[in-house]
Amino acid sequence: MKKTRNVLWGLVFIVIGLVFGLNALDITHINIFFDGWWTLIIIIPCFIDLFKGEGKTGNIIGILVGVVLLLCSQGILDFSLVFKLILPVILVIIGISFIFKDTINKKVRDEMKKLNKKNEDEYCATFGGQKLDFSNEEFKGCNINAIFGGIDCDLKDSIVNEDVIINVSAIFGGVDIIVPKDVKVKVTSTPVFGGVSNERKNPKDDKIKTIYVNAICIFGGVEIK
């Protein structure tokens, strides 16, 4: 997924560069700064981030907002009507994502529900930062809340003897999770103008333990390394 995103970004810059170059040579006369060109700053990143593999709701909302604003700038839609409806539409989309999130990856979510029954440790960073280091400790899962703050959770040298779950809430904040090499990572997320970035490739060994990450990202992000 990351490679695909890099390719797409590369193509975007190549196209922009070619258009500027051809215009400078008077070969083409393409107007880059058309009415509503600035909406592409919203549309293009949101479209490319759909290829992250995690957390697509916020990006879909971003694309819809960008397209609607572009149509308004082109005079196809009325700005005043759109601004009245844009918040209700966003709230409806978010509500739908919450309702149907349990039907996606149902097997993973069922396993998470079992693990949550024995998950008690909780850590919170509000308007500040916190670093969690579980080196040489048995890790049994935890709940992490970053609200206008940041948390680094270092599990690199921790001991994982069974499947565990990390529930993460990143609200205007960020959470970095460094996981051991000898575990699998499975992610579910509810993103609202935020998301989860998972850089890990799972080993193919079915016998190794799994760390489940259940994330809610509201104008925030979770990065798994």
Same domain, residue pair 72 and 112 = no
- Judgement on whether residues 134 and 169 belong to the same structural domain of the protein: yes
38 and 8 in one domain? yes
Residue 102 has a pLDDT of 56
Residue 192: strand, helix, or coil: strand
pLDDT of 55 higher than 60: no
Q: 58, 80, 101: which is the final residue of a domain?
A: 101
69, 138: one domain: no
pTM summary value: 0.59
Residues 31, 115: one domain? no
Cβ pair 48, 8 in contact under 8 A: yes
59-67 LR contacts (CB < 8 Å, sep 24+): 59/191, 59/195, 60/93, 61/90, 61/93, 61/94, 61/192, 61/193, 62/193, 64/89, 64/93, 65/90, 66/39, 66/40, 66/42, 67/39, 67/43
Q: Single out the residue of 212, 189, 205, 206 nearest to residue 53, CA to CA.
A: 189
- What is the rounded average pLDDT of the residues 95-119? 62
Q: Examine the pLDDT at 104 and tell me if it is beyond 80.
A: no
Joined together, the tokens standing for residue 23 give 């215009």
> For residue 63, what pLDDT is reported?
84
CA distance 61 to 46: 9
Query: What would the mean pLDDT of 186-204 be, rounded to a whole number?
Result: 79
The pLDDT value recorded for residue 186 is 86
Say what percent of the chain tops pLDDT 70: 85
Whether 139 and 208 share a structural domain: yes
Residue 32: per-residue pLDDT: 82
φ, ψ of residue 33 to 5 degrees: the values are: -100, 60
Residue with more model confidence, 59 or 211: 211
- Name, in order, each residue with C-beta under 8 angstroms of 189's C-beta and a sequence gap of 6 or more: 54, 55, 195, 196, 213, 214, 215, 216, 217, 222
What is the rounded average pLDDT for all residues in the chain? 82
- Is the domain of 182 the same as that of 166? yes
Residue 187 token pair: 């992610």
Binning pLDDT at 50, 70 and 90, where does residue 203 land? confident
For residue range 128-186, what is the model confidence (pLDDT) as tens digits?
A: 888 999 898 888 888 889 999 899 999 999 988 888 889 998 988 999 999 988 898 88
Is there a single domain that holds both residue 170 and residue 127? Answer: yes
Residue 109 has pLDDT above 70, yes or no: no
Structural domain harbouring 149 = 105-224
Mean pLDDT of 189-199: 78
Nearest of 152, 222, 148 to residue 185 by alpha carbon: 222
How confident is the model at residue 84, as a pLDDT? Answer: 80
Looking at 48, 73, 101, the residue that finishes a domain is 101
At 100 the pLDDT is: 63
| Domain count of the fold of the chain | 2
10 has pLDDT over 80: yes
